[in-house]
Amino acid sequence: MNAPILASADFAIPAEFESCFRAQRAAYLKAPEPTHAERLADLRTLGRLLKENQAAIVAAINADYGNRSAFETLFGEFFSVLDGIHNAKKRLKSWMKPRRRGVDLMTFPGARNRVIPQPLGVVGVIVPWNFPIQLSISPLVSIFAAGNRAMVKMSENSQRLAELLIETAPKYFAADKLAFFADGGGRGPAFSSLPFDHLMFTGSGATGRAVMANAARNLTPVTLELGGKSPAIVAPDFPIKTAAERILWAKTFNAGQVCLAVDHVYLPRGAESEFVAQCRKLFSKRYPDVNGPDFTSIIDQRSYDRLNAALEDARAKGATLINLAEDQKPDARMRKFAPHLVLNLTEDMELMRREIFGPILPIRLYDQPQEVVDAINAGDRPLAAYPFTRNAATRDFYISRVMSGGVAVNEPILHFAQHDLPFGGVGASGMGHYHGREGFDTFSKLRPVFQGGPFSLVQLFLQPPYSGWSKRLTDFMIKMRS
């Protein structure tokens, strides 16, 4: 039990990681199955931690961003997480119940099969910077509902929030139940190398591959929530005005720094002029001052420079750039980045080669739906697909032909807030699910339990020497199953 935790030749495991992990593992072994009442108490305490520190958390996130819309923090993080806690409390008792399964022919009446959801133990959570409360606390809802303990590592871009949570969490939870850690100094690989019972990571595909490789050293199962170039597809039957309203909201919320943001949009050829005109009108109405508190800053200078470089690359290769804030002057010192629409794209442009993660919306034109399907399927499977149509056949065509982590029809991003739907990626956009029942199952061991009856078919009829009854009965059973 006290053997040192293995480390890579490239890094050592920090003492605070190792001591916390050992304490949580020991606490789990001492009390491996929290009761329904204990799990409810943990969920309520999570809610109290958020509500009682709301102002300080909002301020810390704002400071980490430079300017983060307080409304976006409250709506996109606080409300969504608290709603998830409410849903989990309401459904927890049914999730925890043993699940009856059928009994096969090999046993006499009286035998039983059950699946018992049991806690895994200690779960690690690696959190990105873009929605640091949503993507730390929301997994904890599933983790605590399933009866586990958790260690949470925050992003290096969330230093002020990490400091606040490290100081605040012990007032609500013992360290052997929940502990937060700051990043910095290359501590991420060490964290993902701990022998967790499950590890959840949200972030980029490149980092996700490294996390998975580190976890593999301990055969730690992983849930990876990555990103990808999630497309919106506007069908000819759908009103362009409505599509522009909803897509622009999804592209400017958190300044487009959302893993589920509409990365690019497919429009029917000829609809681009109306779409551009609607977006111009909408942006000036929604954000009369791009430097005001409602429009969020880009997280850091590196990301700001990357977005500028991607625009310049597109311009140099012949794209048409449309600045939606052309009558304003975004403050570069605050890393306010003017939203842009981009037309006349080519496949060699940087905007088409990687996830944008900012307020830039490429517009691709199509004539036939199969063109869209072929273009999307030529790349990695996205985290989400967003068909806009009122025609059921068109909707089902895209759902059938384009594989993605999730689908939201006519309303991007908000499927994430549907707590009774599983959330997760597929292929390059991730693996595994959480939220609701699926989140509870992800962080549980669904343990199969077979209980034999008073009489055994094997003992009565299938013992050696294998002749007579044994052979005849086996031949009969095979015949009945062929």
Half-sphere exposure of 480 (CA within 13 A, CB side): 7
Tokens found for residue 10? 């490239």
Asked if 90 and 82 count as a contact pair (C-beta separation under 8 A), the reply is no
Start-to-end CA span in the chain (Å): 50
Buried b (16+ CB within 10 A) or exposed e, 97-117: eeeeeebeeebbeebeeebeb
Matching residue, tokens 């005005």: 241
pLDDT of residue 7: 52
Q: Tens digits of per-residue pLDDT, 320-346?
A: 999 999 889 999 999 999 999 999 999
Q: Which of 310, 318, 365, 317 is nearest to 340 (CA)?
A: 310
pLDDT of residue 125: 98
% of the chain with per-residue pLDDT over 70: 97
The mean pLDDT of the chain is: 94
Q: Name the pTM for this structure.
A: 0.94
pLDDT class for 426, splitting at 50, 70, 90?
very high
pLDDT class for 1, splitting at 50, 70, 90?
very low
**C-alpha separations of 201 from 53, 120, 144, 334 in Å:** 25, 17, 17, 29
Tokens found for residue 342? 């981009």
Q: Which of 411, 363, 350 is nearest to 263 (CA)?
A: 363
Give, for 268, the enclosing helix (H) or strand (E).
strand 264-268
pLDDT of residue 107: 65
Instruction: Report d(CA 169, CA 125) in Å as an integer.
Output: 15
Higher pLDDT, residue 105 or 293: 293
- Residue positions annotated with a catalytic role: 225, 259
Half-sphere exposure of 411 (CA within 13 A, CB side): 5
Which stretches within 53-158 are classed as H helix?
Answer: 54-65, 70-73, 80-96, 134-145
**C-alpha separations of 30 from 243, 327, 375, 459 in Å:** 55, 64, 54, 38
CA angle, corner 30, sides to 26 and 36, nearest 5? 120
pLDDT of residue 260: 94
Whether 202 has a pLDDT exceeding 90, the answer reads yes
Domains identified in the chain and CATH numbers: 15-226+433-445 (3.40.605.10), 231-416 (3.40.309.10), 452-481 (no CATH)
Cα Dmax for the chain: 93
- CA quadruple 300, 72, 200, 38: dihedral sign: positive
Q: Tens digits of per-residue pLDDT, 95-150?
A: 999 999 988 866 667 889 999 999 999 999 999 999 999 999 999 999 999 999 99
Which stretches within 132-239 are classed as H helix?
Answer: 134-145, 159-168, 188-192, 205-216
pLDDT of residue 411: 96
pLDDT of residue 458: 78
% of the chain with per-residue pLDDT over 90: 85
Q: Which residues pair with 322 in a beta bridge?
A: 341
SS3 464: coil
Instruction: Report d(CA 400, CA 402) in Å as an integer.
Output: 6
Query: What values do phi and psi take at 51, rounded to 5?
Result: -65, -40
Q: Which of 455, 258, 234 is nearest to 365 (CA)?
A: 234
CA-atom Rg of the chain in angstroms: 26
pLDDT of residue 250: 96
pLDDT of residue 8: 53
Query: What values do phi and psi take at 361, rounded to 5?
Result: -120, 100
Tokens found for residue 31? 């009390």
pLDDT of residue 40: 98
Q: Which of 243, 302, 244, 233 is nearest to 268 (CA)?
A: 233
pLDDT of residue 108: 67
Q: Tens digits of per-residue pLDDT, 242-253?
A: 999 999 999 999
Instruction: Report d(CA 261, CA 250) in Å as an integer.
Output: 6
Q: Which residues pair with 242 in a beta bridge?
A: none
pLDDT class for 469, splitting at 50, 70, 90?
confident
Asked if 62 and 70 count as a contact pair (C-beta separation under 8 A), the reply is yes
Instruction: Report d(CA 236, CA 238) in Å as an integer.
Output: 6
